[in-house]
Amino acid sequence: AQSVAQPEDQVNVAEGNPLTVKCTYSVSGNPYLFWYVQYPNRGLQFLLKYITGDNLVKGSYGFEAEFNKSQTSFHLKKPSALVSDSALYFCAVRDREYGNKLVFGAGTILRVKS
Amino acid sequence: KAGVTQTPRYLIKTRGQQVTLSCSPISGHRSVSWYQQTPGQGLQFLFEYFSETQRNKGNFPGRFSGRQFSNSRSEMNVSTLELGDSALYLCANLTGAGYTFGSGTRLTVV
């Protein structure tokens, strides 16, 4: 079965500093990977996806993610954090054994302090 | 272009009752999935519908059911509600860009 892991429950970063939210995956075959962000009492907002191609994926709101096949990682990054980036971030993988089912990590709370 | 619309946004129900949640996908996109989000279990897949057919089902009891109509709108139903069914229920619509989620329905069972 496909799975993703987010090893950090929370990441704290100062405004203006670079941020990284970690994700590792375990899949059979080529992975379809996603990052989503969730603000309180809201649904999930799509940030970016990796299906194939360049290992560095650029997404919404200045976020990017680096796909690393040898380390089975798909870390989310941003060069300069904003206080408004504070939210809950989810990494997900499409489980192709189950059609369009997404399997999510447990989520990482990002806190950006001014 | 309208996004994924879920109604209602909030619901409070009593144990033993049943509830129906609605999801209207983006026009022209027929794949609709449902997810349950709780603090303890995180985001879990409930089921997926495409062209009025259930394609996949997650590991939930039979009290959880769904359906999809010819206009692609989907409903999910939970019967005999339990306290543990309190959760945010999210609907996702698969488009060419990926998965677009609605804002969810917050169900509280008391």
Going from the first residue of chain B to its last (110 residues), give the mean pLDDT of each consecutive group of 10, the final group possibly shorter.
89 98 93 95 95 94 97 96 97 87 97
- Structure confidence at residue A98 (pLDDT): 79
Chain A partners within 8 Å of B45 (Cβ): 98, 101-103
Residue contacts between A and B (CB atoms, under 8 Å) = 58
Q: What percent of chain A has pLDDT over 90?
A: 81
**For A49, which residue in chain B has the nearest alpha carbon?**
B98
- Structure confidence at residue B54 (pLDDT): 94
Closest CA to B36 of B72, B15, B66, B16: B66
Chain B partners within 8 Å of A43 (Cβ): 4, 6, 90, 101-104
- Structure confidence at residue B1 (pLDDT): 56
Nearest residue, CB atoms, A107 vs list B31, B42, B92: B42
Three-state DSSP class for A82? coil
Is residue B50 within 8 A of residue B98, CB to CB? The reply is no
Among B32, B45, B54, the strongest candidate for a mutation testing the A interface, having the largest count of A CBs within 10 A, is: B45
Three-state DSSP class for A70? coil
Q: Identify the residue whose tokens are 């860009």.
A: B97
- Structure confidence at residue B49 (pLDDT): 95
Q: Do B101 and A36 touch (CB under 8 A)?
A: yes
- Structure confidence at residue A2 (pLDDT): 87
Can you list the positions of beta strands (E) in A1-114? 3-5, 10-14, 19-21, 24-26, 33-38, 44-50, 56-58, 64-68, 73-78, 87-95, 101-104, 108-113
Q: What percent of chain A has pLDDT over 70?
A: 100
Q: Do B94 and A107 touch (CB under 8 A)?
A: no
Closest CA to A112 of A91, A75, A87, A77: A87
Chain A partners within 8 Å of B33 (Cβ): 100-102
pLDDT average, residue stretch A68-82: 97
Is residue B86 within 8 A of residue B37, CB to CB? The reply is no
Q: Do B99 and A104 touch (CB under 8 A)?
A: no
- Structure confidence at residue A85 (pLDDT): 97
**For B55, which residue in chain A has the nearest alpha carbon?**
A99
